[in-house]
């Protein structure tokens, strides 16, 4: 479904009604599309329409509206799909939204409503696409090679998963319209949906300089000299983004962020490198790779860059996407290396 303006207004009236709010077509205000009445107080609402809302797609829409004078009580974005990161952007800007899959958020003078509502006709209710690890691995594999159609058998071989589990994950992504008819990922929508599920467990260590000790490096399977094919630790987040040429400033002595292959390695690092007694004593942050590709697909840094293998730009971008402020500013201005396709 791709909603038109009239359909969006009708869907908004239905959603407000389901939430117990009286809504009708605005008759008196030339700028408003709807008039709501909440506890006897009228609110004028201007409706904006989009097919899928991502942080990237919102940039021009919000910038245009911020330059226009408006006397309405609230702006309401109605879309078939509003990814989690886009909802955060709208919330920061004070916008309201209706995700036609079944979620209404209304923010206005003295009013805050955040509730589930019936999904619009022909719009499937959201499901947890990444409830299992296979779906996250498949999504990452598709984003790593966005120009290559996703074949179930090929992905199953690459991910060391059964064809049936990969097929189920692909079907879910296809039903959510995140894979097209050719098996190609729909970007940036799939990236931002993946970012909403990208929540790596992490810990901190104190004495990162001990990684220069060959015995400790071997015990922790550092793999510093083995990229791009060897499995090992991978530098990520702001420091890695800066090494790739992204507009990210990193101060001297900034504690690095690493990915490690598994929980066992993280616990061993805590033992050998020590746990900091305070945030100021943090030597590094260690994150457990949500998918195996993070620590098996690494890039060598440039000679004047950090002395660590870098995580693939996709995984660095997923980490940056978790920061609704500076992280997304960096993403907006970052074009990755030529051999990597930008999918955000």
User: Rounded mean pLDDT of 177-204?
Assistant: 92
pLDDT at residue 73 in the model: 85
Which own/partner pairs from 2-7 qualify as long-range (CB within 8 Å, at least 24 positions apart)? 2/51, 2/80, 3/49, 3/51, 3/78, 3/79, 3/80, 3/100, 3/120, 4/49, 5/47, 5/49
- Per mean pLDDT, which range of 28-37, 42-51, 166-175, 326-335 is the poorest? 28-37
Q: 72 versus 98: which is more confidently predicted?
A: 98
Question: Could you tell me the pLDDT band of residue 67, with boundaries at 50, 70 and 90?
Answer: low
Find the helix or strand (DSSP H, E) in which 284 lies.
strand 284-288
In 3-state terms, what secondary structure has residue 296? helix
Write out the H or E segment, with its range, that includes residue 212: none
Q: For the chain, what percent of residues have pLDDT higher than 70?
A: 94
pLDDT at 1 over 70: no
Note the pLDDT tens digit of each residue in 163-182.
Answer: 999 999 999 898 888 998 88
Q: Residue 90: what pLDDT?
A: 93
Of the candidates 230, 287, 295, 290, the residue with the CA atom closest to the CA atom of residue 258: 287
pLDDT at 6 over 60: yes
The CATH class given to the 5-116 domain equals alpha beta
Quick one: fold of 133-196? Answer: Arc Repressor Mutant, subunit A (1.10.10)
pLDDT confidence band for 246 (50 / 70 / 90) = very high
pLDDT for the residue numbered 36: 92
- What is the mean predicted confidence (pLDDT) over 258-266? 97
pLDDT computed for residue 126 by the predictor: 53
68 has pLDDT over 60:
no
Pick 233 or 58 by higher pLDDT.
233
For residues 303-312, give the mean pLDDT: 90
- Segment 127-147 mean pLDDT: 91
Per the CB < 8 A criterion, the answer to whether 96 and 106 are in contact is: yes
Q: What is the mean pLDDT of residues 7-16?
A: 93
The CATH 3.40.1350 portion of the chain extends over: 5-116
pLDDT tens column, 204-215:
999 999 999 999
Buried-state track 222-257, b at ≥16 Cβ within 10 A, e below 16: bbeeebeeebbbbbbbbbbbbbbebebeeeeeebbb
Domain with CATH 1.10.10 in the chain: 133-196
Give the model's confidence band at 127: pLDDT under 50 very low, under 70 low, under 90 confident, else very high.
low
pTM of this structure: 0.78
Please report the pLDDT score of residue 262 as a whole number: 96
Mean pLDDT for all residues in the chain: 89
- pLDDT value, residue 2: 58
**pLDDT greater than 90 at residue 72:** no
Give the whole-number percent of the chain exceeding pLDDT 90. 62
pLDDT value at residue 185:
95
Lowest-confidence segment of 160-164, 216-220, 288-292, 306-310 by average pLDDT: 306-310
């Amino acid at each position: 479904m791709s909603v038109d303006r009239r359909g969006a207004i009708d869907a908004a009236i239905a959603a407000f009604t389901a939430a117990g709010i009286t809504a009708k077509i605005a008759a008196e205000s030339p700028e408003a599309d709807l008039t709501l009445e909440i506890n006897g107080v009228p609110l004028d609402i201007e409706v904006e329409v989009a097919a899928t809302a991502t942080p990237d797609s919102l940039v021009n829409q919000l910038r245009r509206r911020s330059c226009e004078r408006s006397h309405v009580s609230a702006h309401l974005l109605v879309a078939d799909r509003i990814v989690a990161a886009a909802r955060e952007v709208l919330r920061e800007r004070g916008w309201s939204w209706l995700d036609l899959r079944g979620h209404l958020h209304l923010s206005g003078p003295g009013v805050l409503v955040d509730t589930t509502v019936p999904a619009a006709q022909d719009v499937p209710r959201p499901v947890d696409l990444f409830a299992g690890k296979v779906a996250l691995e498949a999504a990452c594999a598709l984003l790593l090679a966005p120009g290559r159609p996703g074949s179930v058998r090929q992905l199953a071989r690459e991910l060391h998963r059964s064809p049936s589990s990969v097929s189920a994950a692909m079907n879910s992504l296809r039903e959510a319209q995140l894979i097209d008819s050719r098996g190609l990922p729909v970007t940036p929508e799939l990236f931002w949906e993946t970012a909403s599920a990208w929540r790596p467990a992490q810990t901190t260590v104190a004495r990162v300089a001990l990684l220069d000790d060959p015995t400790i490096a071997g015990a922790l399977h550092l793999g510093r000299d083995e990229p791009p094919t060897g499995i090992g630790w991978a530098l990520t987040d702001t420091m890695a983004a800066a090494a790739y040429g992204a507009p990210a400033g990193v101060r001297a002595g900034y504690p690095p962020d690493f990915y490690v292959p598994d929980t066992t390695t993280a616990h061993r690092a805590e033992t050998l490198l020590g746990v900091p007694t305070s945030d100021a004593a943090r030597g590094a942050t260690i994150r457990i790779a949500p998918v195996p590709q993070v620590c098996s697909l690494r890039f060598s840094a440039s000679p004047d860059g950090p002395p660590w293998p870098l995580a693939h730009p996709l995984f660095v971008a997923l980490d940056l996407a978790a920061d609704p402020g500076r992280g997304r500013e960096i993403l907006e201005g970052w074009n990755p290396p030529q051999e990597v396709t930008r999918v955000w």
